Amino acid sequence: MIRKHKTLTAYFLALAIFTTYVMLDTFVITRVYGSAEATDADRIEVTQEDSGQGVADADADADGNSQNTRGADADDSAASDPVITADSYSDGNISVTLNEYTVNDTAVHVAEVSLVSPEYLKTAFAEGAYGRNVTEATSEISDSVDAILAINGDFYGTQERGYVIRNGVLYRSEGSADREDLVIYDDGSFGIISESEVSAEQLIEDGAVQTLSFGPALVQDGELTVDTDDEVGRAMASNPRTAIGVREDGTYLFVVSDGRTEESEGLSLYELAEFMQEMGAVTAYNLDGGGSSTMVFNGTVVNDPTGGHAGHGSGSERSVSDIVYIGY
């Protein structure tokens, strides 16, 4: 009887240790699979040891930014001295205008962005590294790349699957059958794809520069693609939200709504989609939301992020794995 008791005790202790490790590995332990930094002589080739996923390579400059031919006619030196106000930025290459709207008792922050070249629409990783549980606040990542405007991305680091193409580099090629992605191509256009229908390698061949794998798509060809019953996982109907879209004339829309506070109730996916459509988006896509939803303009957080704690705003940012930003 005593031996049996000891055996059961050892079993449950081992189970507890294993469960704790799994939880730590999933949510806490940092695993860096590759750096965004490389030189022209070093073709980036990142492998994820845990899953054996191979990734393609791309040229990168000494600052770790992938080189490509998009915007080849653009000349950064042609930018004039920037004119900056509390809600606008303009330098000849990049124009950003911020507005705040009230939708269903919710503050919605919108940045309208016009670019001479799509090369100024970029993404960045936390700590400058691709990996798991590698995180920083959106404002910290934004500051590290001197972003003019930034929003949180898709938080790829919490997922084991889902395409990750950033600045022309393919980091993760293992897809998820039920995932639809936003693809940003080298001409600056947006497309919505299903990972079950096209490979990441094919997307690279087709000119994909960025993929954002969260979803769902909100607007396609100017039409709503969600209804009142759609939600992300177990998300509440009203939440802080982050979305990105593009108008037919090429103007980009960066959108963050507040929520979970006394001042802002939050939006449902359908309400967010309706808003993006009303703003003129022909394609719009839902990014990571909730406590992650953050917009940074010229180094200042402009919305009221909850940091994942209901009712606690006042700039309490959640650390995330990546951002989408405008900058040089």
Q: Which pLDDT belongs to residue 228?
A: 82
Whether the pLDDT of residue 196 is over 50: the answer is yes
3-state secondary structure of 327: coil
Greatest mean pLDDT among 11-15, 35-39, 274-278: 274-278
Q: Which pLDDT belongs to residue 63?
A: 37
CA distance 76 to 85: 21
Q: Which CA distances in Å does 157 have to 31, 46, 220, 320, 321?
A: 10, 15, 27, 8, 6
Bigger pLDDT: 61 or 88? 88
Q: Which CA distances in Å does 36 have to 97, 109, 185, 323?
A: 30, 30, 20, 14
Give the global pTM.
0.80
Q: Which pLDDT belongs to residue 236?
A: 58
3-state secondary structure of 6: helix
Whether the pLDDT of residue 136 is over 90: the answer is yes
Pairing of strands 180-185, 223-224: unpaired
- Number of Cβ within 10 Å of residue 186's Cβ equals 17
Q: Which pLDDT belongs to residue 235?
A: 57
Q: How confident is the model at residue 56 (pLDDT cuts 50, 70, 90)?
A: very low
Give mean pLDDT, residues 219-225. 98
Q: How confident is the model at residue 189 (pLDDT cuts 50, 70, 90)?
A: very high
Q: How confident is the model at residue 23 (pLDDT cuts 50, 70, 90)?
A: very low
- In tens, the pLDDT along 71-100 reads 445 566 677 999 999 999 999 999 999 999
| Domain segments of the chain as ranges | 71-326
CA distance 55 to 174: 9
Bigger pLDDT: 146 or 309? 146
Q: Which pLDDT belongs to residue 61?
A: 41
Give mean pLDDT, residues 263-286. 97
Whether the pLDDT of residue 68 is over 60: the answer is no
Q: Which pLDDT belongs to residue 279?
A: 98
Q: Which pLDDT belongs to residue 131?
A: 95
Q: Which pLDDT belongs to residue 150?
A: 98
Whether the pLDDT of residue 2 is over 80: the answer is no
- The pLDDT > 70 percentage for the chain reads 72
Angle (CA) 302 102 295, round 5°:
20
Both tokens assigned to 222: 């100017």
